[in-house]
Amino acid sequence: MKKIGCKVIFFWVLTSGYFLKAQKFNEIPIKLKLAVEKSISSKRPISIGQYFIGAPYLANRLSKSNPEKVYFSFTDFDCVTYVENVLALYHSKGNHIQFSENLIKIRYNDSISYENRNHYLITGLEKLVKLNILTPINNAFNSKSVFKNIDYLSKYVNSKHIDRSKLIKTEKSISSRPIYYFDYMNDSDTKTLIQDGDIIAFLSSRNDLDFKHVGFVCVKNAKKYILHASQEKKVVCISDMTIDQYLLKNKKIKGFQIYRPNL
């Protein structure tokens, strides 16, 4: 499958009906567990994200087979798996079983399979909202909206082991409703809404794709930057550019959404 930017494809408690057929997951490392505990006590999920600064960016690590094998890693990330891991860790309270269950519940719907993975970031974000992990800041009352004809994934998937009809059904569902977004960071009303630690998702300018990139809002010296797994830098880092500058420079981005972690 052709790659566009950061492959924005989206892991909460494992419920009955989920069949776990995955690689073996070992315990959360002690240093990371301490970082999780500190993050929970300070109510700052972003501090877990900062723990991973310097970890390499690696794309296409999720399973390409069907049935799927769940990919666990604290040593490499793409932009989406980075955000997924931080949220799953925060809500695990340092328990490795809870973490693995969280990760699976965020990433999949109904069962662990290629078709049931949240390939589009918008469905992953909606799942996180449904699970009360995130609250959307963008909505019909304070932001713009756009309808898209989403079909990026189904156009490129060609395997007898994958049911394209399920992918197409998901794409049609996304395409049937508006995507709310902000288009300018420097708008005074928008600035007051965005806080340190919020999740920022960058809307693709393409009509067949929902989002291009995702990360955390990181405030330094009263300016807002992105804490993310950067495809350009090939590492987890805080961006050199402010979010305003990033938006102005990147013509492949139409705008952005903001989600606030529920603590």
User: Does residue 56 carry a pLDDT above 60?
Assistant: yes
The predicted model scores a pTM of 0.89
Under 8 Å between Cβ of 247 and 185: yes
Q: Are 103 and 72 in contact (CB under 8 A)?
A: yes
Same-domain pairing of 199 and 109:
no
Residue 13 has pLDDT above 90, yes or no: no
| Tokens standing for residue 86 | 């931080």
Which of 97, 132, 167 is the last residue before a domain boundary? 132
Residue 90 in this model has a pLDDT that exceeds 50: yes
Residues 225 and 153 in one domain: yes
Boundary-marking domain end, from 96, 115, 132 = 132
In the prediction, which pLDDT does 187 show? 61
The residue-averaged pLDDT of 89-113 equals 94
From 112, 132, 152, give the residue that closes a domain. Answer: 132
**Do residues 195 and 217 make contact, with C-beta atoms less than 8 angstroms apart?**
yes
Q: Assess whether 126 and 160 both reside in one domain.
A: no
Answer whether residue 18 is part of any domain: no
Domain annotation covers residue 5? no
105 and 199 housed in the same domain = no
The total number of structural domains that make up the chain: 2
The reply to whether 194 falls in a domain is yes
Domain with 195, as residue range(s), is 135-261
Do 148 and 250 belong to one domain?
Answer: yes
Q: Mark whether 124 and 146 lie in a shared domain.
A: no
Q: How far apart are CA 200 and CA 189, in angstroms?
A: 16
Whichever domain contains 141, its CATH number is 2.30.260.10
Residue 21 lies in a domain: no
Query: Is 169 in the same domain as 232?
Result: yes
Q: Which residues pair with 94 in a beta bridge?
A: none
What is the C-alpha separation between 137 and 120, in angstroms, rounded?
A: 19
| Claim to verify: residue 148 and residue 240 sit in the same structural domain | yes
Specify whether 153 is located in the same domain as 120: no
Q: How many CB atoms lie within 10 A of CB 34?
A: 13
pLDDT tens-place string over residues 199-241: 999 999 999 999 999 999 999 999 999 999 999 999 999 999 9
pLDDT in tens, 128-177: 999 999 999 988 888 899 999 999 999 988 888 899 999 999 999 999 99
Contact at 8 Å (CB) between 48 and 89?
A: yes
pLDDT at 20: 36
Q: State the CATH number of the domain containing residue 123.
A: 1.10.3670.10
